[in-house]
Amino acid sequence: MIMFNLSRIRGGVHPRAHKATTAERDILQSLPLPSRFTLPLFQQAGANAFPIVKVGEKVAKGQSIAVSGAGLSANLHAPTSGTIVAIEAAVAPHPSGLPSQAIILEPDGDDRWLEPARVDDPFARDPESLSDEVEKSGIVGLGGAIFPSAIKLRQGRRFEIKTLIINGGECEPYLTTDDRLMRERAEAIVEGARLIQHIIGCYEVIIGIEDNKPQAIIAMKVAAAPYGKIRVQAVPAMYPMGSAKQMIQAVTGKEVPSGGRSNDLGILVHNVATAYAIQQALRLGRPLLSRVITVAGGCVNSPRNVEALFGTPVQHLLDHCGGLSQTPSRLIMGGPMMGQQLPSTQVPVMKGTSGILALNRKEVNEQTPSACIRCSRCVDACPMGLMPLEMAKFSRVDDFDNASHYGLSDCILCGSCSYVCPSHIPLVNYFEYAKGELKQRKLSEKKLAYTQALTAARNTRMEKEAEEKRAAKAAKKKRTTRSASKSGTLANKEEADQ
């Protein structure tokens, strides 16, 4: 059946790439230190990290300043040497514009590294200790999901993983960080891939790269040539090829089961930038302090890729890319398809920041939404095979059951549907809203069940206490009557007998 052909990727869109300028310029590495670093504690999927430094404490570059707790979280390190001046709520790089806890670091200008520990040849080491090392280094998935890498590696060790896919399908328009990284640091990425292979013990490594990055493909092929079982595979350029699910489908023809993980297929996916970070950590002992960020958009005078330390204010990056030529229509962290609007340019860049885009009105092309004409372009564009028009219709009236029936839970929020909608309906906004509401409802249900249990427990405890009190009282009474009976009146004796 044609409709059941798994290897064919359905849907997707081909937005204008806007990649030419930044893809041809090398990564700017020697960015001067900003005057202040803001390091939010929510730079990873899961819980906030716990600060382990005090205000006023002097820290060295690479020193751990916040650690993950028991749950899903990741460590955080000082991006340069300096003094912790505050641990306070600061405006977060988040569309809500709400503040969140952050460590504020004032650099001393020395950029003094923490005394590095001796680094052994990682290939000679035990894989388990290597994943501990990755955890210590605070590495998270740099492709956008910011999922703690060590947890992924440990899961990879628990499951039988046959194939490691290194994701070089940078499909977001404007972004060229992975492209530049593959061109300039191909050997390190390949070594990172081999280290992951060593840790999870997989059979083969496939580096999937979109075919609109021919130079990156060549560079990676050259770097991978000496090693067996690592091959570079070109995949068709389309959005959202960089999504792990679509990359797996393009490379292996398999689909991740709905609600499952790639582990279920014996596949693990890591982004090229993550592979690079793992190599830096295991080979050089360097924790994750910086990443390559594309600074681009129609309002940026000199668009370029910049290697920036986490905590650097966005304004600082813009200043070193020629500043802004005009007030942007939208200022975005990430790509234009899935990125989020920034509340200000004073917010810092974080581990998940792949790009800073200052887009003008023409690039954004915002128009007043009109009624849905059911043209079903969103259905054709959806890479997940959902029916966005129906999902939006039901989300709008808060009918989340029906919205889920048409695929709300399978939606990856890639934005392909909104992108093609001729009525300019903010479909993703509806899905974000519906998903948020559903999550909140689930939480309040959970809380209700929890408080019900607490009340029940309290009631039984109170009853028991009351029972005990009664028993104690009765015992006391008994004791009194017994002592009274010792004094020897008949009436008392009769009473005690009753």
Partner 1 sequence: MFTATLVLTVLGLTLGGALAFAAKVFATGEENPLVQEIEALMPGSQCGQCGFPGCKPAAEAIVEGSVDLTCCPPGGRALAEKIAEILGVDVDSIGEVAAPMVASIEETLCTGCTRCFKACPTDAIVGANKQIHAVIDEACTGCGKCVEACPEDCIHLDVESLDLNNWHWPKPMVA
Partner 2 sequence: MSSILTTEARRASPHTHDNTSVSRIMLHVCLALVPATGFGFYSFGWPAFLLWATTCLTAVVTEAVCLLLQGKSPSQVRDTSALLTGWLLAMTLPPWAPWWIGAGGAAFAIAVGKQLYGGVGHNIFNPAMLARVALLVSFPVHMTTWILPVGLDTPDFLSSMQLVFMQTPMAEVMSSTDGITGATILGELKTVQTAGTVESFSASQFSLSDAFFGHTPGSLAETSELLVLAGGLWLLSLRIISWHIPVAMLGSLAIMSFVFHHGDSAHYANTLIHLTSGGIMLGAFFIATDYVTSPSSKTGQLLFGAGCGLIVFAIRSWGGFPEGVGFAVLFMNALTPLLDRYCRPRVYGRDLRGKPVNAKAKPGRVK
List the interface residues with partner 2, window 38-77 (CB under 8 A).
none
Residue 426 within binding range of partner 2, rule CB under 8 A: yes
* Window 345-374: contact mask with partner 2 (x via CB under 8 A): xx----------x-x-x-xxxxx--xxxxx
3: left (phi over 0), alpha (psi -120 to 50) or beta: alpha
The item of partner 1, partner 2, none sharing an interface with residue 444, based on CB under 5 to 8 Å by kind, is: partner 1
Out of 24, 120, 204, 264, point to the residue binding partner 2 (CB under 8 A): 264
Q: Please list every residue from 224 through 263 that binds partner 2, using CB under 8 A.
A: 245, 249, 254-260
Minimum Å gap between C-beta 460 and partner 1 is 12
Cα 349 off chain centre by: 14
If residue 132 lies in a helix (H) or strand (E), which one and from where to where?
helix 127-136
Q: How far apart are CA 235 and CA 250, in angstroms?
A: 7
Q: Cβ closer to partner 1: 117 or 371?
A: 371
439 lies in the site for partner 2, by CB under 8 A: no
* Straight-line distance from the first to the last Cα atom of the chain, in angstroms, rounded to the nearest whole number: 87
355 binds, among partner 1, partner 2, none (CB under 5 to 8 A by kind): none
Buried-state track 189-215, b at ≥16 Cβ within 10 A, e below 16: bbbbbbbbbbbbebeebbbbbbebbee
Closest distance of CB 13 from partner 1, Å: 21
Q: Give the phi and the psi of residue 202 in degrees, each rounded to 5.
A: -85, 165
Among 133, 170, 179, 390, binds partner 2 (CB under 8 A): 390
CB of 5 or CB of 30, closer to partner 2: 5
Strands of 267-271's sheet, edge to edge? 230-235, 204-210, 163-168, 267-271
Site map 159..178 versus partner 2, x via CB under 8 A: xx-x----------x-----
Helix (H, G, I), strand (E, B) or coil at 290: strand
Considering only 301-309, 383-391, 448-456, 490-498, which stretch makes contact with partner 2 by CB under 8 A?
383-391
Rounded to whole angstroms, what are the CA distances from 84 to 331, 341, 455, 476?
Answer: 29, 28, 44, 63
Residue 105, helix vs strand vs coil? strand
| CA 251, chain centre distance (Å) | 23
Interface with partner 2, residue 185, by CB under 8 A: no
Q: Measured from the CB atom, is 454 or 471 closer to partner 1?
A: 454
Stretch that binds partner 2, among 48-56, 218-226, 414-422, 484-492 (CB under 8 A): 414-422
Please report, as a single letter, which amino acid is at residue 331: L
The four Cα atoms 52, 56, 60, 62 give a dihedral, to 10 degrees, of 40
Q: Is 158 in the site for partner 2 (CB under 8 A)?
A: yes
Contact residues for partner 1 (CB under 8 A)?
42, 92, 94-96, 98, 100, 368-371, 395-399, 425-426, 429-430, 432-433, 435-437, 439-441, 443-445, 447-448, 450-452, 454-458
